Amino acid sequence: MPELPEVENARQVVEKALDRVIASIDDTDEFVCRPHGPGEIDQALKGGRLTAAHRRGKTMWCDTVTADGADGPSLGIHLGMGGRIFVTGPSGDAESLYAGGDPHVGGMPKKADERPDKPEWDRFRMTFDDGGEMRLFDKRRLGRVHLEPDVDALGPDAAEITRDEFRARVGKGVVAIKAKLLDQSVLAGVGNLLADETLWEAKVSPSRPAGEFSVAELDALRTTLRKAARDAIKRGGVHTGEVIPHRAKDETCPRCGAPMERGTVGGRTTWWCSAEQAD
DNA sequence: AACAATGTTCAGTC
DNA sequence: GGACTGAACATTGT
């Protein structure tokens, strides 16, 4: 699930956790919270508060203050391959639940495995002194929570990148354009689905070398990407993309009817229109 | 059983 | 050192 649009959705849910006093933290999952040892994050943040929720690409982080009002360490949260954020209000009950990283914004997920009632899939939990909580729910366990995340290694956010930045960062090298879009140090936030959706909308072959693009083509690609990202945020996730349901065997392009083709580009399964996105 | 999964990272090669 | 590739990571679903 989580690409830029889902993470932005999750970030907005994390904002529901701001300015509430942290009573305790369960950071005992050593894989998710590495390299911190159990209790380390708890010790650093207990008694303090989260004061702001930021996002760049797929990485979120919160500013914090300690109990005495001094600046605390930032808290990084990454949803990995399938993580979600749940926050409950002061009552702590299900009625006050906010779900982030999920397509059904504000509603309860329908699939059993997406419901928040599998305690063994809770990988991190922050309990507030008002009775509510924030937790990372992640059945695949590839999410991350850690102190002081290094966001400088990320490129500009894919929904915000400027025209000049895009030209300079994306339009060079011999790697496939899709691999370039997926490189988080080039620009941050594009995942496998958003890449396929963007390239399909732009009628660009995913395997075409990035350095071959003209300035005009790069500008057009950037416009398409930002539109795809923002539309997905608005609609609740990348899965709302037009071509996404057609990423399957025996499917056809929803625009021209030609067969969809499957392959591997940038190490990821890739689908494209065999006619409009030919090399 | 084998393989893929909306992500990241690290070892290895050119 | 940079660019690039492929496997590994933990876990679940098909």
The domain boundary, picked from A89, A123, A151, lies at A151
Q: Is the peptide bond before A38 cis (omega within 30 degrees of 0)?
A: no
pLDDT of residue A178: 95
> Which two tokens mark A279?
């090399």
Q: Are residues A138 and A198 located together in one domain of the fold? A: no
Whether the beta carbon of A46 falls within 7 A of nucleic chain C: the reply is no
CA distance A62 to A55: 9
User: Model-level pTM?
Assistant: 0.92
The domain boundary, picked from A151, A178, A195, lies at A151
pLDDT of residue A100: 78
Task: Report CA(A201)–C1'(C11) in Å, whole number.
Answer: 33
Which parts of chain A sit beneath pLDDT 70?
A: 1, 102-117
Q: Are residues A250 and A195 located together in one domain of the fold? A: yes
Whether the beta carbon of A81 falls within 7 A of nucleic chain B: the reply is yes
Q: Are residues A195 and A160 located together in one domain of the fold? A: yes
pLDDT of residue A107: 37
Whether the beta carbon of A81 falls within 7 A of nucleic chain C: the reply is yes
| Chain A 15-34 residues whose Cβ is under 7 Å from strand B | none
User: Which amino acid is present at A243?
Assistant: V
Q: Cα–chain-centroid distance for residue A184?
A: 11
Write out the residue range of the structural domain in which residue A72 sits.
Answer: 4-151
CA closest to B9 C1', residue: A142
Question: Does residue A278 lie within any of the structural domains?
Answer: no
Question: Does residue A170 lie within any of the structural domains?
Answer: yes
Q: Are residues A147 and A25 located together in one domain of the fold? A: yes
pLDDT of residue A116: 59
pLDDT of residue A109: 46
Number of domains chain A is built from: 2
Q: Are residues A226 and A147 located together in one domain of the fold? A: no
Domain with residue A54: its CATH number is: 3.20.190.10
Neighbours of A174 (CB within 10 A): 8
pLDDT, tens only, A38-83: 999 999 999 999 999 999 999 999 999 999 999 999 999 999 988 9
Task: Report CA(A260)–C1'(B7) in Å, whole number.
Answer: 24
pLDDT of residue A236: 85
CA distance A10 to A269: 25
Angle at A111 between CA A109 and CA A114, to 5 degrees: 65
Question: Does residue A260 lie within any of the structural domains?
Answer: yes
pLDDT of residue A1: 59
